[in-house]
Amino acid sequence: MPWPCPQDGTEVADGTGTCPLCGYVRIPSGLALVSAVSGKEMQVRIDVTLGSGGFRQLDDPEARYVSAEQCQLRKVAAMGGWIIQNVPHASNPMYLNDAPIEPAGALLQEGDRLSIKGLYFRLSVRLLS
């Protein structure tokens, strides 16, 4: 859905997080992660460390490749949204759009794809307004 910029009322197009007029950045209130295998989704609205326990609700058998602590999701206003970062001691790193995630973390965008090494436990990202 298009959204109104709170600073100048500009209607900003769906899928765009920044007002083209004033540069206001809308921070998504949360994320939904959708399993490619089960089609189920889970929603995250607070900073959290996710692993095999938290991901169990997705009913995705490939969650067996996920470590007990796998990744952190954090809302970072200065970066304009939600950041994913691998936990250093996870056995298999999570990839973003089939590429390794930088140690400093990466900003998640609508439609991004997460996976274990680009192969397993494939999730798609939806931003929650």
> Of 8 and 59, which has the nearer Cβ to Zn ion?
8
Cα gap 29→43, rounded to integer Å: 10
Least distance from Zn ion to the Cβ atom of residue 3, Å? 10
> Of 22 and 48, which has the nearer Cβ to Zn ion?
22
CB 19 within 8 A of CB 12: yes
Please tell me whether residue 3 binds Zn ion under the rule CB under 5 A: no
- Per CB under 5 A, contacts with Zn ion among 7-66 are 7-8, 10, 19, 21-22, 24
Least distance from Zn ion to the Cβ atom of residue 18, Å? 9
CA-to-CA separations, 129 to 20, 45, 53, 58, 64, in angstroms, rounded: 18, 10, 26, 21, 31
CA angle, 112 then 53 then 44, to 5°: 40
Q: Which residues bind Zn ion (CB under 5 A)?
A: 5, 7-8, 10, 19, 21-22, 24
